[in-house]
Chains A and B, each alone.
Chain A
């Protein structure tokens, strides 16, 4: 369904030699109707990857395919009719709505643009959807500033599913919410995904929530994917030292710095220290290898 192959995206700082490798040879596949969870620390390039897949940023190198159509070479004008196939749920949902418009008007505007519907039918359609996300219909006539964080997040999900997209990227939808609200949103997303068979990419830094919601999980560290496996394997038998670390976070001070060569994770890697600082890690970059069926790891020492 969605394929991103060999994506490179570097950001250059003003100072000489200061580069952020947001995406460094990233390849992911998402089969139709499934959810891919993308996990990693903040600043490792998760959001950049999501934006590249949606065509909001152009990658330096690499291609994104959506149902076998190469969308990276499209211009903005050509991309626009494709846009209704994919939607994004943003980290800060409040900024996704116009604060000077009532919620209903903001939703109607998007519906008129993408759906061929008469205004009377649109009203009924939005009313149906608002029941589905467990909200009160009266909310539609409020301004976005008057609503609580959970309500805004639900409205953002409604806005995303309104034009029946085939692919949704949820970019850290849980981080500003409190615990009880988080579970409600996760349940809602799972329900919608199962009913409508939407393909989804769920970006988060919380491995527990990712494990509940997704079918496959990809772990990212400093612009590189280090492990891809199904959710049960990631939960019960993680192989890469970084994934193990994410499950049991200890307070070691990791330095987020891009090395010139060798493995990106070696500075805070447990295996690297246990094995006595082997030269392979220092010089050669590990490649993704299939350890079991469907379980890919990028590490020199895992067989």
Chain B
């Protein structure tokens, strides 16, 4: 299977000016996204899922302390040449850093020249701002046209003063200047029909406040698809929707992916919901990737190795058996840790069921490495480390 995009060793730290120290948001995050496949990214709220997606889109603008890492992406052919020429303008002092890997370009190229961790915080922030300004020119060709994003709250992503028709028309014209103006209304209707919106002729004259949450989410998906992207990032597309709408949206996303051959990064806190359509699942905890593997291995087979956190996440969702018995719900005891930069060892150790006795000493002293337990199934835990 060919790989469309690959994130490797992404690190995002935020600078807390009142405490004068860095806060870890994402550390050593790496995962590939295969062509035409869905990758689910799962974790509790506040674990860095959205920050990962935003840094991929180049949308982290509010003074992050440190960004570091590599993001390989294969853009559309017509953009590739232009982006390559933009990237070549940054002359990097470190010869090891590669600009491209085959057709895939490193969109974070030149990061090392601007930012290195050893410097003092103020130069880091200054340099990050400089890099982000340069990075924005590259991302202008990528954002929307090659990677689209669906945000958490549909109603805040729509302009309340414009009708639905004019919002979609703006997106279409932005990415495809050669469109005939007489055909554009038909194209908008076609798009809205493809997201199974009822009565699109009436909807295009409405304002966002007239739409229900489910309808607004469909319009957002239509706008995201307007530019024919290669990768779709859906950041909690179903929060705030009710149960029936939730499944309708998930079903819709599934059929769009199958029809158009898109790749998708689906972010959610509900591991079962992600399991409905994802091919591979990545589990995050406190900014760290703890498990990455195929859906079947993570969700279905009971005795296959699993990270304790993934196990707890799955058990937190009540099954039909629990419902019949009327049992108390299982919870993950304790709270997620404060992401201080100085934490040593596994961040999950205080809530972990298995960390007792000898093994706990090991867990608290050093961060466990990511171990491949079977083909393509990685776990970061000392239980499986020999």
Contact = CB atoms under 8 A, between A and B. Distances in A.
Nearest to A44: B242
Contact of A246 (B244, B248, B317, B331): B244
B324 A212 contact: no
B329 A246 contact: no
Given A251-B252, A253-B198, A180 B313 contact: yes
B316 A42 contact: no
Interface residues of A, number: 36
Contacts of A182: 316
Contact of B312 (A149, A180, A184, A209): A180
A17 interface: no
Interface string B209-245: 0001110000000000000000000000001111111
B198 A255 contact: yes
A212 B244 CA distance: 19
Contact of B45 (A42, A149, A256): A149
A179 B323 contact: no
A183 interface: yes
Given A180-B313, A187-B329, A250 B44 contact: no
Contacts, number: 83
B44 A41 contact: no
B242 A179 contact: no
Interface string A249-262: 11101111000000
Contacts of B317: 179
Nearest to A178: B269
A180 B332 contact: yes
Interface in B239-266: 239-248, 251-252
A41 B45 contact: no
Interface in A221-238: 235-236
Interface of B: 44-46, 196, 198, 212-214, 239-248, 251-252, 269-271, 312-313, 316-318, 322-324, 326, 328-332
**Which 4 pairs from chain A and chain B are nearest by CB?**
A183-B329, A205-B242, A251-B251, A178-B269
26 contacts: A41-B244, A41-B245, A42-B213, A42-B241, A42-B242, A148-B45, A149-B45, A178-B269, A179-B271, A179-B313, A179-B316, A180-B44, A180-B312, A180-B313, A187-B329, A205-B243, A205-B244, A206-B243, A208-B318, A209-B318, A212-B323, A245-B244, A249-B246, A250-B247, A251-B248, A251-B252
